[in-house]
Chain A
Amino acid sequence: MSRIVNGHRLPDEVDEGAPNRREFLSALGLGIASAALAACTRAPDERIVPYVHQPPEVTPGVASFYATAIVEDGYATGLLAESHEGRPTKIEGNPRHPSSLGATSAIHQAWVLQLYDPNRARGIEQSGRPASRRALEEHLGKQREAARATRGRNVHLLLSPTSSPLMLARLDHLRAALPEVHVWYEPGASPVNAWEGARRAFGKVLEVDADLSKAEVIVAIDSDPLARGPLSLRDARRFGQRRRLRSPDETPPRLWAIEPALTCTGIAADDRVRLRASDIGPFVIALLADVLDAMPDAKVPAEVRSAIAGVLRTKDDRRARLVHDLLAHKEKSALIVGPSQPPEVHAVVHAIHAALGAIGPTITLRPSPIAEAGGPSFAHAPLLSALDGNAVDLLLVSGANPAYDAPVDEDFTRRMRKAKSSVVHALHAHETAREASWIVPARHGLETWGDARAADGTLGIVQPLIAPLFNGLSDTELVAMLAGDPRVEDHEALMALHAGEEGAWERALQAGIMDGTAIAPLPPTLDGGAVAAAMGAIKPAPAGLEIGFPLDAKVHDGRFANVAWLQELPDPITKLTWRNAARISTATAKRLGLSTNDEVDLVLHDRSVRSTIVVSPGDADDVITLSRGWGRKGAEDLARDRGSCASHLRTAVAPHYDVGVAVRAIGTQYRLAITQEHVQLHGRELIAVHRSRAEWKKEPDFAADLRKPQPTLYKLPIVGSPLHNQWGMVIDLAACTGCSACVVACQAENNIPTVGEEAVRERREMHWLRIDRYYLGDSNVDGEPRAIVQPMLCQHCEKAPCEYVCPVNATVHSEDGLNEQLYQRCVGTRFCSNNCPYKVRRFNWFRFHHPSETEKMVFNPDVTVRGRGVMEKCSFCVQRIREAEISCRTENRPYKDGDVKTACQQACPTGAIVFGSIADPKSGVSVARANPRQYAALDESAGTEPRVRYLAKISDSSEEKA
C-alpha cells in the first residue's frame, strides 16, 4: 500500500528531566486529538498547542507506520503500527514477518486499545502508597545487597516466557551479581506438554512446524492451528491459499479436526471427530497402530512396532477413513496436536509422523525460540515449596498473574504472602499485584523497546510508538534495576546488542525483522523406547462428564480481559460476548435437561464454580468447556466479575481437562448476551451456500442462478462508469474460519463504539462487520452438524433497498458504487435498517462513545466519531479509498489493484476477503468474481444486486467418497 511510510526510526532518548521530543509529540498528539474530537460536538474546553516546530517525519493528517511486534508467551508476531501525530491508532500485520505475513488476529487488533486502558496501573506503589522510582531502585538495591550473602538463593523471579536476547542478557547480568538467583517462567499459557512430548520422542525439546502449503492431509488434534498459536496466522494464510478453489478438479488438502469442542479449525474442517479430550489419546495410539499395520516397511523403531500389539483398537469408521487418507498421502500428512494434550499424545504423534515419513517433507522440527523451553523452570512447584519453606526473600513477578490463573490447589495467593518482599510488575493492579508489597506498572508493548523471536526463531525488534503514558517500566528494565546494571535504558542496551554492521540496526527497525536469524531445523531421531512407554502410559479414560479449560479465544488467559473490543467481540463459536459460559453439546444438554442461560454449579473434586450454560452444537458429548481468563477479581473495571473462573476448578495435575465433573442446575437463569440466537438457516440454504466437492463436480456451475442479474424494468443506477473504479468485494466462505480478526480490525479502523453487555443483549451492538454462523442440516443440530461461517457487512447493493426509503437522502449511492451513509444528514428514522435484507445497519441508540482522556487517542482521525441518533454501517473503508485516490492524483499515476485494502481484508489471516475495482477485469476481485462458486446472497429474493459477493463453501468429506 502506498500509504505505508515505514521505517522512521524513533529518536534516541535525550537527557531525562526535560520532555524529550517523543514525550512532547505524544502530549501534542493528545492535545490535538482531544481538540479535534471535542470539536465534533461542542467547542473545546482544553487549551490546545499549535504545531510550532513540526518534527520532520510528521505530516499532520498523514499516518506513519512503524514496524514493531507483539510478544505473546515469548513468541513474537511482527506488526505495523499506524501512528497519527504521535499516537498509535491501528495495528496491521507486518508482511515481512514470518508469523504474520501481513495478517493479524483479533487480539492483535485490540492490542492498541489496551495501550489506552484507563485502568492501567499508573505509578509505582508500595503497600498501596505511591512510591518513587528511586525508592524502588533503593529497595531492589537493598534486596540485592542483602542477597549477595546467600548468592541470591532466596531471590525468585517469575517471568513471562521469553525469547528476547535482551532479556537473556539482562538475566545474565543479574546472575553475575546473584549467581544462584531462581528464574521461573510462567507455564500457564505455554506449550509445556508439546515440549515435553518432543523431549520424550526425540530426547530434546523441539517445536513442530507443519507446512500447510504442502500437506495434503491436515489433522488438528485438540488444537486450533488456523486460529490459535504462534504460527496460526501463517498457517491460516497457507491453508487459505489452498482452499480458494477455482474448479472442482483442483484438490484441496483435506482437513480433519479431532476435538472436544468446536473450533475455528473445526468449522473449516472437512471431517470432524467429536471426542472428549481424554479419549483422544486412545484414539491416537489406535491411529498409530493402524498406520503401522498398513505400513509394514515404515521406518520406525522396533519397540514402537512391538508396542502396537497391546493397543486396544475398537472398530471406528472415522478412524478407518482417516487412516485411509493418511496412507494415501503418507509424507504429505501433518498432524497438529494442541497444548492441552498430554506429552504422551505428542510423542505418539511424532511416531506417526515418523512412520509416514512426514518429518522433513512436511513437518519440520526445530529447537524452541523460548528460553529454557521444556526445562524445569517452567513450573510453579519449586517456587511454591520455596515459599512454603519461607525461603523467599524477594519474589519478583513480571508478565504473569498466578494469583488468578494458577491451578486452585497450588493456592498461590496464600503462599505468595510468605515471601518477605514481593514486587509485581504488571500492566494492571491485577490479582497478583494486589497481593504484592510493591506494584510496578509495566509498559505496554507499544511503549517498549525490545526484541523477540518468532516461532521459527526469526528475530525482530519491538519499537515503541509512544512515550509511556503511565510512567511504566519494561520487564527488562526492572531486571536490570535488580541486577544493579547501570545501563537500565532498554534502547541503549538493545543497540549495543544488535548494532552489528553499519546500517543493520536501521534496517532491522524498518523491516521489523533481522534476516537470517531463523533457527535451523534439526533432523531428529525417534526414541523408540520412549514412544513405546508413552503408548503404554495412555490409558482409556473413565466414562463420565469431562470439563475442559482451554485458553479463551478473546481474552487468552485473562490478560486481555479489560479490552472492551475483545469483551464485545462475539466468541467465534458461541457468539457470546462479555463473559464466558459452560459450553455443552446439544445432546448432553438434552440429557442433563439444561438449556442456554441456565445457571449451574460445576462441581469437581469438591470444588464448585457457578457458571451459565451455553449450548454449543458440534461440541463432543459429555464435555463441558469453560474457557480460562474470566471471573477476574483485579483492578480492571471491565473484566471484574465477568463470567466464571476456570482456574477455581483446575488442578496442578489436570490443568487442561478433567473427568468427573458434576453439573447441578440451581434453577435460575442468566440471560447471556449472545449476538446470534438463531443458528439454523430455516430452509434458506442459498444465503450461506455450501456444496461438497462431489456435488460441485456433478454441477460445476451450481451458483449460476444465484448470481445472474435479476429481471428489472429499470436500468441499474450505476454499472461500470468508465471514469471511476467500481468497488466490489468477494469473500470466500471456503477459506473463512470465523476467527473474527476482521471484526475487530473494522472496529479499530472505523471508530466503532462498544455498547456493553446489557445493550448487546438488547441487540444494539454496533459492529459493522459481523460473522454469521449457521449449523447446516435439515432436522436439527443434534448429531454431527456442519457449521458454516459468513462474514456479513453492508453489501453495497447496486439497487439498495435502504436508499429509496430514506426520507432525507442520508444514504445515497456514489459514482464508484459505494452505498454511502451521511451521518450529518441522518435524522434517525431507521427506515433504512428495516428495509435492509442483511440487517447490517447499526443505530446509535444512545451516545455510545464515552472515551476517557486516554481512550480518545485511539480514534482514527480519518473517520467521523458518530453521535447519538444516527445510523451507521460499513463504508468499504471509504477513507482508505479516498486517501489512495488522492495519492494517485498527487503522484500522477493511475490506480493499480491493491492500492486500497479494506481493514477487514488486511487483517484476514486466510486471505478470504478480496477487495478492488470490478471495472478492471484483471483486478483480484474481478478474478474472484469469475469463480464459478461466486454468488450473491439474497439477490434472488430481494433483487439487490450486491457488490459484495460470496464464494460458496466447498468441503470434501471423506464420507462422501466412501
Chain B
Amino acid sequence: MSATSLPEIAHELEDKPPVLVGRPDDRSLDRRVLGALWSPSIARWWWPLFLFSAGGTGLLLFLMLYTVVTGIGVWGNNIPVAWGFGITDFVFWIGIGHAGTFISAILYLCAQRWRTTINRIAETMTLFAVVNAGIFPLIHLGRPWFAYWLVPYPATTGVWPNFRSALPWDAAAVSTYLTVSVLFWYSGLIPDLAAMRDFQTSRLKARIYGLFSLGWRGSAEQWAQHKTVYLILAGLATPLVLSVHTVVSFDFSITQLPGWHSALFPPYFVAGAIYSGFAMVIMLLIPIRKLYKLEDVITEAHLEASAKLMLATGWIVLYAYALDPFIAWWSGEPTELYLQTFARPLGPFAVLYWTQIFCNCVVPQVYWIKRARRSHVVLFIGSALILFGMWLERFVLIYTSLARDWLPSSWHDFTPTWVDGGLIFGTACFFVFNYLLFLRFVPFVPLSELKEMRHELEKEDLEKAGEELPYEKEARGVVPAR
C-alpha cells in the first residue's frame, strides 16, 4: 500500500460499481419489475417457502395463545432474570426495523442515489420487523389484557401511566414509528400500485390494484403533491430513527442495575440497530436479486454501500463495548466491576460474551477488503453472523446484568424453554411469511423512482459525452415530443 500513487487512489475511487447496469428502457423495466410479481416462474421456490413460513406463523400464534392462557411461567424467566428472550427479541426486531427507515428517509434527505432501488425492500423489512417487535412487549406482560393501561387515555379511575417510567414512552415511540413507517411506505408505493394497475391484463387484478392506488393518475399536480408529502414524511421519519431506539435503550439505562445503567446506551443502541438492520437488508437483497434476476437493477453498488455502513456502525458498537469495562472501572462500583470485568469476559458468561464480540466486532472487519464487500457469499455469511451477534448482544446485556446483580444471594442463571425458542423461530417465520406475500403482490422495487433515476443517469451520460439532452432535442423539434 505504501507505494500507492495518487492516480491509483483516484482509480480506486473511480472503481465504483454502477447503481444501474445498462440503461433499460421504461417498457423493459415495467416488464421486469412489475411482471416479476405474478410470474409463474417464481412458484418453484415461493410456494415451499410460503408453506413453511405459514407453518411457523401458526406455531407463533399457538405459542402466543399458550403463553397468554397459561402464564408467563412457560418461558424460562425467573427472579432475578425477569426479562429474558422476550425483551431480547423485542429489541432485536426493533433494531432491524431501523435500517429501513434509515435508507428510505435519511438517505433520501441526503440524496444518496443508491438508496433508490432498494428502499422499498428495506422499508418493508422495517414494517414487518416492527410488527414482530410489537408482539413481545404485549405477550410478555403478566396480564396482557391490561396492556392498554400503558397508554395515556382519560380513564375514569383518574390514574395515568407513570411518565417517569420508560415503558409508556416505549409504547408511544414504537407505535409512532410503526404509524409513520406505514404512511411513508404507502405514500411511496402509490405511483407503483397505479403502474401495477395499468400493467394488469386481468380486469379483477386491475380493479384491486386500482383500489389501492387511490386514484393515482400521474398528473403533474399529483406528482408535485406526492413529492411534497414524501419529503415531509421523510423529515418526520428521520428523527424517529434516532428516537425509537433511544427510547428503547431507556428501558435499560434509566434503571440502576449495573450493566444497564449507562448514559452511553442511546447512541450505542441506535448504531447497533442500524448495524443489524443493514445485515438484514443484505440478507434480503442477495436472494431477491438472484431469484428475480435483477442483478442489473440491484447491483454491487447497493451491497457494497450496505457493507460499508455495517463496517461504520460496527465500529461504533465496538467502541461502546470497549467503554463498558472502562465505565465500570471509572465507577468503582464492585457490582458493575464484577459484571463487566469478570462475569462477562472471564466468568460464567464468557462463551456468550466472546461469541458476541466475534460476531459483532471481528466479523465486520472483513469488509475493509473490497473483494469481501463484493462477494455474495462473504456478505451473506457475514450478515448472518452479525445478525446472530446482535441478537446475542441484547441477550447478554439483558440476561447477564440481571443474573449477576447486587446481592450474590439472588444470582441465578436463565435457561430458555421450548416456548422461548419457538417464539423466536415463529417470529422469524412470520417475518418471512409477510415478506413472501409482499414480494408476491407489491412492486418491491420502486419503479417510478427507478425510472426517474434512469432518466437522470441518462442525462448524466449524455452530459459526459457532450451530447445534446433529449428535451433540448425536443425543443428544437429534432425528435417528436414524448
Contacts and interface: CB of A to CB of B under 8 A. Distances in A.
Nearest to B408: A678
A149 to B, nearest CB: 65
B435 interface: no
Contacts of B213: none
B352 to A, nearest CB: 18
A657 interface: no
B80 A831 contact: no
Contacts of B256: 801, 835, 837, 942-943
A827 B82 contact: no
Given A792-B407, A809-B160, A829-B141, A941 B147 contact: no
B79 A827 contact: no
Nearest to B402: A834
Contact of B255 (A774, A790, A835): A835
Nearest to A831: B167
A772 B407 contact: yes
B105 to A, nearest CB: 29
A806 B165 contact: yes
A733 to B, nearest CB: 14
B149 A842 contact: no
B412 A827 contact: no
A828 B333 contact: no
B141 A827 contact: yes
Nearest to A808: B149
A764 interface: yes
A826 interface: yes
Given A687-B406, A837-B406, A839-B79, 7 more contacts: A676-B410, A684-B406, A763-B79, A830-B142, A833-B80, A834-B83, A869-B71
A951 to B, nearest CB: 18
Given A680-B408, A938-B406, A941-B406, A845 B147 contact: no
Given A764-B73, A807-B161, A845-B73, A826 B79 contact: no
A870 interface: yes
Given A807-B161, A829-B167, A677 B406 contact: no
A792 B255 contact: no
Nearest to A841: B79
Interface in B36-78: 70-73, 76-78
B164 A804 contact: yes
Contacts of A943: 256
Interface in B133-186: 140-144, 146-147, 149-150, 159-162, 164-168, 171
B143 A870 contact: yes
Contact of B79 (A764, A772, A790): A764
Contacts of A762: 76, 78, 415
A51 interface: no
Contacts of B82: 830, 833-834, 843
Contacts of B168: 807
A845 B71 CA distance: 6
A871 interface: yes
B405 interface: yes
A804 to B, nearest CB: 4
A847 B73 CA distance: 9
Chain B contact patch, size range: 35 or more
A768 B162 CA distance: 25
B150 A868 contact: no
Interface of B: 70-73, 76-80, 82-83, 140-144, 146-147, 149-150, 159-162, 164-168, 171, 251, 254-257, 260, 333-335, 338, 402, 405-412, 415
Interface string A448-459: 000000000000
A846 interface: yes
A773 B165 CA distance: 33
Nearest to B137: A829
Contacts of B144: 827
Nearest to B72: A845
* Interface-centre pick from B142, B260, B412 (highest chain A CB count, 10 A): B142
A805 B409 contact: no
A386 interface: no
B412 to A, nearest CB: 4
Contacts of B333: 941
A681 interface: yes
A828 B77 contact: no
B411 A826 contact: no
A724 interface: no
Interface string A661-694: 0000000000000001111111110010000000
A677 B142 CA distance: 26
B150 A869 contact: no
B141 A825 contact: no
Contacts of A805: 164-167, 254-255
Interface in A833-866: 833-835, 837-839, 841-847
A680 B334 CA distance: 14
A809 B159 contact: yes
A790 B76 CA distance: 28
B71 A847 contact: yes
Contacts of A807: 149-150, 161-162, 165-168, 171
Nearest to A681: B408
A827 B280 CA distance: 33
Determine the main DSSP class of A at the interface with B: loop
Contacts of B79: 763-764, 833, 839, 841-843
B83 A843 contact: no
A774 B143 contact: no
Interface in A859-916: 868-871
Q: Which 10 A-B pairs have the closest CB atoms?
A: A828-B142, A869-B142, A845-B73, A807-B167, A772-B409, A839-B410, A830-B82, A846-B71, A869-B143, A763-B78
Contacts of B71: 844-847, 868-869
B330 to A, nearest CB: 15
A150 B86 CA distance: 77
Given A807-B168, A830-B82, A682 B73 contact: no
Nearest to A686: B334
29 contacts: A676-B409, A677-B411, A683-B334, A683-B338, A684-B407, A759-B73, A762-B78, A764-B78, A770-B409, A772-B409, A792-B409, A801-B255, A805-B254, A807-B149, A808-B149, A808-B161, A809-B159, A827-B147, A829-B141, A830-B82, A833-B82, A834-B257, A838-B407, A843-B82, A845-B72, A846-B71, A868-B71, A871-B142, A943-B256
B141 A869 contact: yes
B150 A809 contact: no
A828 B72 contact: yes
Given A683-B334, A833-B82, A838-B406, A827 B164 contact: no
Contacts of A680: 408
Interface in A801-817: 801, 804-809
Contact of A844 (B142, B257, B408): B142
A764 B142 CA distance: 14
Contact of B162 (A677, A790, A808): A808
A790 B406 CA distance: 14
Contact of A831 (B73, B165, B338, B415): B165
Given A837-B256, A846-B70, A941-B333, A809 B161 contact: yes
A770 B72 CA distance: 23
Contacts of B78: 762-764
B91 to A, nearest CB: 14
Contacts of A846: 70-71, 73
A333 B144 CA distance: 63
Contacts of A871: 142
Nearest to A828: B142
B251 to A, nearest CB: 8
Nearest to A812: B162
Nearest to B78: A763
* Interface-centre pick from B73, B144, B164, B405 (highest chain A CB count, 10 A): B73
A890 B149 CA distance: 38
Contacts of A835: 255-257
A938 B256 CA distance: 12
Contact of A837 (B70, B142, B407): B407
A684 B143 contact: no
